[in-house]
Amino acid sequence: MRASKRLELIPPYLFAQLEQKIAAKRAAGVDVISLGIGDPDMPTYEPIVAAAQRAVADPSTHTYPSNRGRVEFRRAVADFYRRRFGVTLDPDTEVMAAIGAKECIFNLSLAFLDPGDVALAADPGYPVYTGGPTLAGAEPLLMPLIPERGFVPDLRAIPSSQLERARLMFINYPNNPTGAVAPDGLFEEVVELAARAGLLVVHDNAYSETTYDGYVAPSFLATPGAKEVGVEVFSLSKGYNMTGWRCAAIVGNADAIEHYWRLKSNIDSGLFEAVQLAGATALGPELDEHVRSMNAIYQRRRDLVCSALQQAGVSVSKPKGTIYVWAPVPERFESAVAYCDYVLEHAAVVISPGDAYGASGEGFFRISLTTPDDRLSEAVARLREL
């Protein structure tokens, strides 16, 4: 079977080899602890599950959903954005349901990019920011996120020849994989650039509800002028322990959302309405307490991991958001992959090499905090000993 040339352009999955090694170790009876994937280990909050159970029993949810989303869901998203971020949205034109942020981010590339166009993508970053443009026949232009700049792209370093061809820009704060949060002024700078260069900003807001030490993450759309140039993709996956439900929303620029809707109506048939009704429940103020309790758990885990790394001589700063710790590889290792292999071999702990998220991630590794406390403590003890 021959795959399309388009598909062949996608780089091989960096974790494939790692997965084989893990499988071989487990088969040999080794107790491998994975701190690799960012998938919450705790269940979806009980009121959301109860709302879904009621919704599944309601036959009105059993038909094809509309691609725009059920009005209850769109209103709940708009109410949440007003309450949480101070952003006003028209639920009819400025909110639409998505089958997870991943679907939405990928389809935005198909909706807005032609061959020869450029998409500006954070490096390291969520892989769809480069895979989407590549599959759409366009070119990703990487914006390095480096510690010296607080993991924020240098917008002035984008060559003007590339900027002229740029149609999309992907940004994401709180940031996966670096854990960085947006510094004051960044979103304003992005709005100014997007207006000047005529590009659509896609702010991937997957982690705004997962923050620590009292930090409250803003919406990109709260920035003056943002709605004229951008959309935000808000996912319920991480903040509400709902990765399996595939529940997200795209909000912001009405024209952009209309194009996304036109594309999607040719690709999929929308998000199961029972999931939308559960998502509407998740976004109500009564659920805030659950989110706060979850964040207290992650914050405790973050502190555990960071102090163990610091004790081992790794210079790591505590992230204010996301479910990841991003730390530099010890100097004696030639690469992140070499270090991660060593840790797997000698401590049976899986951590992710930074370059799996883009070339600028070389020299770093990522630890996910989504492992139960006892297993995380065990992994951390092994790392400390190593």
Ligand X SMILES: Cc1ncc(COP(=O)(O)O)c(C=O)c1O
CA dihedral sign, ordered 128, 140, 180, 209:
negative
Amino acid at the residue 46: E
For residue 306, give Cα distances in angstroms to 18, 125, 211, 260, 334: 24, 22, 16, 41, 23
Report in angstroms how near the CB of residue 107 gets to ligand X at its nearest.
12
Q: How far are the Cα atoms of 2, 23, 70, 134, 228 from residue 34, in angstroms, in the given order?
A: 34, 12, 38, 30, 42
Shortest distance in whole angstroms from residue 214 CB to ligand X? 22
Contact residue for ligand X among 248, 327, 336, 379 (CB under 6 A): 248
State both tokens at 384: 């400390």
Residue from 132, 122, 96 nearest 232 by CA: 96
Least CB distance to ligand X at residue 361 (A): 13
Report the run of H or E that residue 120 belongs to, with start and end: strand 118-123
Would you count residue 205 as binding ligand X (CB under 6 A)?
Answer: no
Tell me which residues in 90-129 interact with ligand X (CB under 6 A).
100-102, 126
Query: In whole angstroms, how close is the CB of 209 to ligand X at the nearest point?
Result: 12
Minimum CB separation of residue 28 from ligand X in Å reads: 30
Residue 219 or 347: which CB sits closer to ligand X? 219
Please list, residue by residue across 265-289, b when 16 or more beta carbons sit within 10 angstroms of its beta carbon and e when fewer do: eeeeebbbbbbbbbbbbbbeeebee
Q: d(Cα 176, Cα 223) in Å, to the nearest integer?
A: 21
CB 99 within 8 A of CB 246: yes
Size of the site for ligand X (CB under 6 A): 13
Q: Identify which of residues 163 and 326 has a Cβ nearer to ligand X in the complex.
A: 326
Q: How far is the CB of 145 from ligand X (least distance, A)?
A: 12
Give the nearer residue to ligand X in terms of CB position, either 348 or 367: 367
Q: Shortest approach of ligand X to residue 322 CB, angstroms?
A: 8
Q: What count of residues does the chain have?
A: 386
Q: Minimum CB separation from ligand X for residue 266, in Å? A: 20
Options 45-53, 63-71, 235-243, 287-295: segment touching ligand X (CB under 6 A) = 235-243
Per-residue contact string for residues 11-40; x = within reach of ligand X by CB under 6 A: ---------------------------x--
Among 139, 204, 232, 355, binds ligand X (CB under 6 A): 204
Q: Is 178 in the site for ligand X (CB under 6 A)?
A: no
Tokens of residue 190, six digits: 């992005």
Among 237, 276, 299, 371, binds ligand X (CB under 6 A): 237
Kindly list the residues in this chain that would bind ligand X in the complex (CB under 6 A): 38, 100-102, 126, 172, 176, 204, 206, 235, 237, 243, 248
